[in-house]
Amino acid sequence: MPTPPEVLPPAETIGYVLLDLAIILVAARLVGTLFVKLKQPRIVGEIIAGVLIGPTVLGGQLAKGAITGGSGPLHTVTTSRAAQDGTGLVNALYPLQAFAFLNLLGLLTLVFFMFLVGLEVQQRYLEGRGTQIGVVALAVVVVPVALGFLVGGILDEPGKWKVAMTPMGKPVSSLTHALFLGGGLAVTAFPVMARILQEKRALATDMGAIGVGAAAVVTPLMFLVVAGASASAKSQGVLSTIGVKLLYAAGFVAVLFIVVRPLLRMLLDRRFDRTKPLDGDVFALLLFGALLSGLVADRIGIHSLNGGFLFGAAVPQVAGLGKAVIDRMQTFVVVFMIPVFLAVSGLQTDLRVLSPDLIGGVLLFLAAMILGKWLVGAVAARAVGLTWREGNAIGVLMNCRGLMILVVALVGQQVGVITPAMQVVFVLGAIVTTLMTGPLVDVFLPRQQVEAERDRSIGESTAGLPAMTGGPRVLVVPGAPSLSAAAAGVAAERYLGRGGLAPQFLLVSLSGLTENGDYVGAGLDDDGRARDDALGWLSPGTERLAAGGASAESVAFQTPRPEEDLVRLAEEWAATDAVVTRAEDSEVLEAAGLTVQRVG
């Protein structure tokens, strides 16, 4: 495939953009799905997919000028052609003007992504634990930033780890270099942490609440460090700039929480009904707020993605609202937009630059990443009253970077600090720390708490149900609202009016966690809403069976392991029979010794 001309006509640029988007989506889904099958986070597969469709495999090199932003990325594209190695397939597939569009789309992605992250911050998990959360959050930011200065001093070799000149035409200072490294070391992937704690049934424990709260606080603190690094790269006074930005940011937060939040609450009280789909006007207003907040944050100088995060956190926590917004946004953001951002990162990651003399620096940076979060997080958690086991679990979760460290790398690229070699290190850090999180959490998470939370969910559901009467005890598991009537009908036909001891029915809905790529939309407010909704659509079936003279009750709760908990529920309730609609439910209940009738 020939290398595209230096300046593409608009029609050809659009064609290349469409081709590139198609390549990105196919690669992201294929590699991401492979990692899911391997019981690993999809995000890791999508990060690797971005690398596989980039210069590491395809050859060539994207021009650095295409990512530096400034006063006009398209102008930069057309004047930086000479910086590109035109011998690889990358050059033919991703001409500079097309890549500039992908880069801008990636930046827009971050505003929406951080809006969803902010929306997930549930203030109820912060209540009563402010001191503990503050101690842990400050520890896992301050120490990694200090390590950035230590590591930066070791890696501060011209021509290897840092670029020679900033976009302002001046040498990159050691301070700028160290602050960006410190920002990368201080990153914690809040959405991944919340998701894992939810899956492990530990979100409502003291350890989970402190961990999630601290991770939520870490995000704005870390980006404040990055803002200082950006100011240093632009030859502005770091301390004075941070002070000014803090004042601006504090005023911005005050406006959001004191003025905007009450106005939104009044609107939502009138326009939001969690039993109905999210109103289009309300949804549009929330998107407008995220974009406008991103603009304000950009003008303040704390980066547009922080604006998205702060607006999401300021949105009133009306029951069901977070889930409704996430349902509207997450498919497009997770399936389409985030893979584009990860591809932009991958296309700028060239593993070929890692020469043997750089391996020691790579290992040093990875060691600083892990120790600066895991060890410090564990010690800080122990200092605020948690056990060492709980502290290690928090430290491991704090160590998870997800895609957040790639955001820091992108900001660093925009001001000319992150070199190709350091970009590789950041990507490796994202992959390594995210992959190690799940297995290590399983090692350290207190199993007693996990089992206690599981038993609590099931025990609360079965408490108060009628005692055994001697007749068949039938679980009715519709699996979906549309199948509830059919399942109840089959149960009535099979068990009612047959003489003997009266049957007892228990209609059950155990909803699993939404598949969402493990890095956004954990659904921290889902539990109560999902339970109430399920009890609502189970009610007609319960009433129909009760009208036949039988005992009929219903239970519902959300769980990360629906089939496993269905078997436990069957054992607790001493079920003998079951009517189900899903093959998975049929298999596990038959294996548990129940007589199962499959509907459909």
Confidence check: pLDDT of 199 > 80: no
- pLDDT for the residue numbered 455: 62
Confidence check: pLDDT of 67 > 70: no
Which sequence spans correspond to the domains of the chain? 10-90+115-445, 465-598
**H helix intervals, 272-418:** 280-300, 304-314, 321-332, 338-347, 359-370, 376-383, 388-399, 404-414
- pLDDT for the residue numbered 141: 94
Give the model's confidence band at 215: pLDDT under 50 very low, under 70 low, under 90 confident, else very high: confident
In 349-378, which positions are buried (b, 16+ CB within 10 angstroms) versus exposed (e)? bbeebbeeebeebbeebeebbbbbbbbbbb
Domain 10-90+115-445 has CATH 3.20.20.70: no
| Range of 5-9, 172-176, 295-299 with top mean pLDDT | 295-299
Radius of gyration of the chain (CA): 27
Confidence check: pLDDT of 86 > 50: no
Give the separation between CA 544 and CA 491, rounded to whole angstroms: 10
Helices and strands, number each (H, E), in the chain: 26, 5
Could you identify the residue written with the tokens 């708490």? 449
| Range of 1-10, 132-141, 522-531 with top mean pLDDT | 132-141
Q: Tell me: the pLDDT tens digits for 249-273?
A: 889 989 999 999 999 999 988 888 7
Tell me whether domains 10-90+115-445 and 465-598 share a fold. no
- Is-contact 97 8, C-beta < 8 A? yes
Q: How far is CA 184 from the centre of its chain?
A: 17
Could you identify the residue written with the tokens 């950035």? 148
Confidence check: pLDDT of 529 > 50: yes
Beta-bridged to residue 598, according to DSSP, are 580
- 3-state SS, one letter per residue, for 156-203: CCECCCECCECCCCCECCHHHHHHHHHHHHCCCCHHHHHHHHHHCCCC
Confidence check: pLDDT of 218 > 80: yes
The residue with greater pLDDT, 394 or 213, is 394
Q: Tell me: the pLDDT tens digits for 396-408?
A: 999 988 888 888 8
- pLDDT for the residue numbered 361: 84
Give the model's confidence band at 131: pLDDT under 50 very low, under 70 low, under 90 confident, else very high: confident
What is the mean predicted confidence (pLDDT) over 207-216? 84
Give the separation between CA 329 and CA 209, rounded to whole angstroms: 26
Q: Tell me: the pLDDT tens digits for 297-340?
A: 888 876 787 788 889 888 887 777 877 787 777 778 778 888 88
| Range of 87-101, 136-150, 294-308 with top mean pLDDT | 136-150
Fold of domain 465-598: Rossmann fold (3.40.50)
Q: How far is CA 173 from the centre of its chain?
A: 33
Across the chain, what does the average pLDDT equal?
A: 79
Confidence check: pLDDT of 74 > 70: no
The residue with greater pLDDT, 433 or 11, is 433
39: helix, strand or coil: coil
